[in-house]
Structure 1
């Protein structure tokens, strides 16, 4: 499945509907490289922690977000959460490439993904 990332745009974290996205993968990507390419992250707060968040939208309406605990991240990577149209191992690889950040790669994919 080849997805089109033409028109990929950064959106405010508030535009994500949390019930519409689910965890897909752990992505290794350098935080300062994300800053340089996509600007400062949004800050989201939930019952667990404060999160750095980079949210994106595709022209077809699919959305995805990279999230990482702000203060004490347990890993150097970012959690990739996506809408259902992007919920596949292949989409995780394509999203990572579309970030246009040198060295970004998929570290692990959710066990819920059918391979």
Structure 2
């Protein structure tokens, strides 16, 4: 896989279309660690409520987002959703490394990745 993470940058949550991304993994990462490294989260709103979102793009146009419910998250982690080019187990590990938060770990991979 030849993904280049050197151009990783934050993008506005609105730049990601939910139809272009799929759930990839559950990532255990502290909200404050994300905040310290990447700034304030965006707040997205949908039919289910408010979400804290950290959206990112690579220089090749691939995108991913870490998000969780704003007020009552069912897990301390964040859902990682990604565009097609990043939808693999190998890419998950590269994404986690690119976040530059040493304590971030993958808790669970999507069943679609495991198949």
Q: TM-score, structure 1 length as denominator?
A: 0.97
RMSD: 1.0
Residue of structure 2 equivalent to 1:8: 8
Instruction: Give the alignment's TM-score, normalised by structure 2.
Output: 0.97
Matching residue of 1:22:
22
What is the aligned partner in structure 1 of residue 60 from structure 2? 60
Aligned twin of 1:106? 106
Structure 2 stretches lacking a partner, 5+ long: none
Q: Structure 1 segments of 4 or more deviating over 2 A?
A: none
Extract unaligned runs of 5+ from structure 1.
Answer: none
Q: Provide the aligned length of Structure 1 versus Structure 2.
A: 115
Cα displacement (A) at 1:102: 2.2
Displacement of 1:19 in angstroms is: 0.5
CA shift for structure 1 position 4:
1.4
